Copies of this chain bind each other. A is one copy, B any other.
């Protein structure tokens, strides 16, 4: 850090299992990727190329090279997995992962109907090839999954080999974990945490108010995702109690005044 402040909350150091920040790249140029890493490379743990943007961006290989050189792993959004599945092209998907030397992949069913045992089988199969993040929650704001079902799905996916499970929110933060207004379904989150270990969950939380809510509830080292590249530094200050929103939440350790 650039200067010394006392009583700053302890951040787990990278590489880490908690305190994880996942950023979403939905089409950065090479220079923008370099700029993002210059500013936020110390704070971001993994980058998702949002949904199927990797299909259309003309700089895919070069961008993957930039992230690799910086030691930041990258994965394709779950919607890309689903786009291959709905077309009966799962083997093609595995070849794409190989072609680009991907080390992580997401398995999700946010945009299609999938028998859950099939989803778990995809997790098992892909786990032999890459580290799997699986996602629970629909992108359809009309499909409300009750808390006991979130827990059952998450546990089964971890048992099938998922490294972490992701709570769905989309880029907008208005489905899945959140109401259409962006408000957190707080009872859902609290009930999930009675059964699934804190560090195994990556909460999508693109809006600042959502990030603040999770940090107030779960502390500095909660895993958060779908963070816009320009919001990684602001998020880090919220984690450290250095923005108005959490300014008074980390001072009780040794409050000096």
At the interface, yes or no: A186 with Cβ under 8 Å from chain B?
A: no
Contact indicator per residue, chain A 12-47, by CB within 8 Å of chain B (1) or not (0): 000000000000001111111011101111110000
The residue that A240 contacts in the complex, of B40, B55, B236, B237, with Cβ under 8 A, is B55
Chain-B contact segment, one of A77-85, A196-204, A219-227: A77-85
Q: Which 8 A-B pairs have the closest CB atoms?
A: A27-B233, A29-B35, A52-B242, A139-B244, A111-B247, A88-B256, A111-B244, A29-B38
Give CA–CA (A5, B85) in the complex, Å: 10
Interface segment among A56-64, A121-129, A158-166: the answer is: A56-64
As for how many copies of this chain the complex holds, the number is 3
Which of A35, A244, A248 has the most chain B CB within a 10 Å cutoff?
A244
> With an 8 A cutoff between CB atoms, is A257 at the interface?
yes
Say yes or no: A56 contacts B5, CB within 8 Å: no
Q: How far is the CB of A33 from chain B (nearest CB, A)?
A: 10
Given A2-B57, A26-B233, A27-B233, 7 more contacts at CB 8 Å? Answer: A1-B55, A2-B54, A29-B36, A43-B56, A56-B236, A111-B244, A112-B248
Inter-chain contact A86/B40, CB cutoff 8 Å: no
Q: How far is B20's CA from A78's CA once the two chains are assembled, in angstroms?
A: 28
Quick one: closest B residue to A228, CB to CB?
B230
> A241 — nearest CB in chain B belongs to which residue?
B83
Give bound CA distance, A80 to B242, whole Å.
7
Q: Are B2 and A60 in contact (CB under 8 A)?
A: yes
Q: Judging by beta carbons under 8 Å apart, are B56 and A256 in contact? A: no
**Chain B residues in 8 Å Cβ range of A39:** 27-29, 57-59
Q: How far is the CB of A247 from chain B (nearest CB, A)?
A: 4
Pair B243/A79 contact, Cβ less than 8 Å: yes
Given A38-B59, A111-B248, are A88 and B257 also a contact pair (CB < 8 Å)? yes
The reply on A48 being an interface residue by CB < 8 A is: no
Given contacts A52-B242, A234-B27, A243-B51, contact A256 B58 (CB under 8 A): no
